[in-house]
């Protein structure tokens, strides 16, 4: 053999992965969230570990086992996730933002359980901080990989997010079919990347897919 692929291309490198949903509290007993289960994020963290990285996994509330050999930081809200990621960001080599971060949170978090009233009710919402965009603005030499969940016009929206957030790659997830994407064991993704990189993957088990996605990105980056 003339060429041996490196078995641990990420050895000695620090990788941050975020996974799962966030929960935005309404009152002590209620929250806003989404259907993310964390499977794809945990698969990405394990794939990075498998390539030799020192992995910090910033995880929203999920029902998954803590993966061996990975430093897991549990968080609840988008704000907590932001702070946990920023604390690890400056000296990391790769940040992978798989988490399904809530876009809105209740403007006022009630200290006591809200009581129902006659008729309808409304909860006033405000935007959370866009963590990926914040990382894009602070980027030095980090490689920044985002995810995108779309039900339609997948490539169009993914390319928009790549530019708007100054990411290097966006792994776009078609969640229009109920057996793919959120909660499923399989996923169908397309990567869009800087300099017109585009690669689609056939539907596959999330653990296998995570390994391929990461391996392809690392190869393209010459790592």
Residues designated as active site: 34
Using left for φ > 0, alpha for ψ between -120 and 50, and beta otherwise, residue 204 falls in beta
175 contacts 149 by C-beta, under 8 angstroms: yes
Contact call for residues 41 and 81 (beta carbons, < 8 A): no
Query: Could you give the CA distance from residue 143 to residue 15 in angstroms, rounded to a whole number?
Result: 9
On whether 194 is known to bind a ligand per the annotation, the reply is: no
Check whether 177 is labelled as a binding-site residue: no
For the bound state, the minimum distance from the C-beta of residue 193 to ligand CTP, rounded and expressed in Å, comes to 14
Question: What is the nearest approach in angstroms of Ca ion to the Cβ of residue 103?
Answer: 4
Report the residue number, 76 or 103, with the smaller CB distance to Ca ion: 103
Cα 33 to Cα 12: distance, rounded to the nearest angstrom:
35
Toward ligand CTP, which CB reaches closer, 51 or 175? 175
Q: Which residue has the tokens 């498998």?
A: 50
Residue 132 interaction partner, one of ligand CTP, Ca ion, none, beta carbon < 5-8 Å per kind = ligand CTP
* 33 or 52: CB nearest ligand CTP: 33
Q: How far apart are CA 199 and CA 96, in angstroms?
A: 18
* Residues 6 or more apart whose Cβ sits within 8 Å of residue 5: none
- Answer yes or no: is 97 a known binding residue: no
Residues making contact with ligand CTP (CB under 6 A): 78, 97, 99, 101, 103, 128, 130-132, 146-149, 161
| Closest distance to ligand CTP from the beta carbon of 50 (Å) | 21
> Given 3-state DSSP classes, what are the helix, strand and coil percentages for the chain, each rounded to the nearest 5?
25, 30, 45
Tell me whether residue 165 is annotated as binding: yes
Q: How far is the CB of 202 from ligand CTP (least distance, A)?
A: 22
Three-state DSSP class for 190? strand
Q: Does 157 bind Ca ion (CB under 5 A)?
A: no
The tokens for 55 are 């992995």
Strand partners, 170: 146, 192
Residues 95-154 that bind Ca ion (CB under 5 A): 103
Question: Which of ligand CTP, Ca ion, none does residue 147 bind to, with CB < 5 to 8 Å depending on kind?
Answer: ligand CTP
- 172 makes contact, choosing from ligand CTP, Ca ion, none, with CB < 5 to 8 Å by partner type, with none
Is the Cβ–Cβ distance between 38 and 79 less than 8 Å? no
Binding-site residues, please? 103, 113, 147, 161, 165
Residues lying near Ca ion in the complex (CB under 5 A):
103
Point out the annotated binding site for CTP.
103, 113, 147, 161, 165
């Amino acid at each position: 053999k003339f060429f041996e692929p490196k078995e641990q291309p990420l050895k000695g490198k620090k990788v941050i992965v975020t996974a799962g949903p966030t929960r935005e509290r309404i009152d002590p007993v209620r929250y806003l969230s989404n259907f993310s289960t964390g499977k794809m994020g945990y698969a990405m963290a394990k794939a990075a570990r498998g390539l030799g990285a020192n992995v910090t996994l910033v995880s929203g509330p999920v029902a998954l086992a803590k993966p061996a050999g990975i430093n897991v930081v549990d968080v609840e809200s988008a704000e907590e996730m932001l702070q946990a990621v920023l604390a690890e960001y400056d000296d990391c080599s790769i940040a992978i933002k798989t988490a399904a971060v809530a876009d809105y949170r209740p403007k006022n978090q009630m200290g006591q359980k809200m009581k129902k009233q006659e008729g309808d009710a409304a909860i006033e919402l405000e935007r959370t901080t866009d963590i990926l965009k914040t990382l894009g603005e602070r980027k030095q030499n980090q490689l920044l990989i985002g995810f995108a969940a779309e039900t339609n016009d997948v490539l169009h929206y993914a390319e928009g997010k790549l530019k708007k957030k100054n990411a290097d790659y966006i792994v776009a997830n078609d969640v229009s079919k109920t057996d793919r994407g959120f909660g499923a064991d399989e996923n169908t993704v397309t990567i869009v990347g800087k300099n017109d990189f585009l690669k689609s993957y056939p539907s596959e088990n999330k653990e296998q897919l995570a390994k391929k996605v990461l391996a392809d990105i690392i190869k393209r980056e010459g790592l």
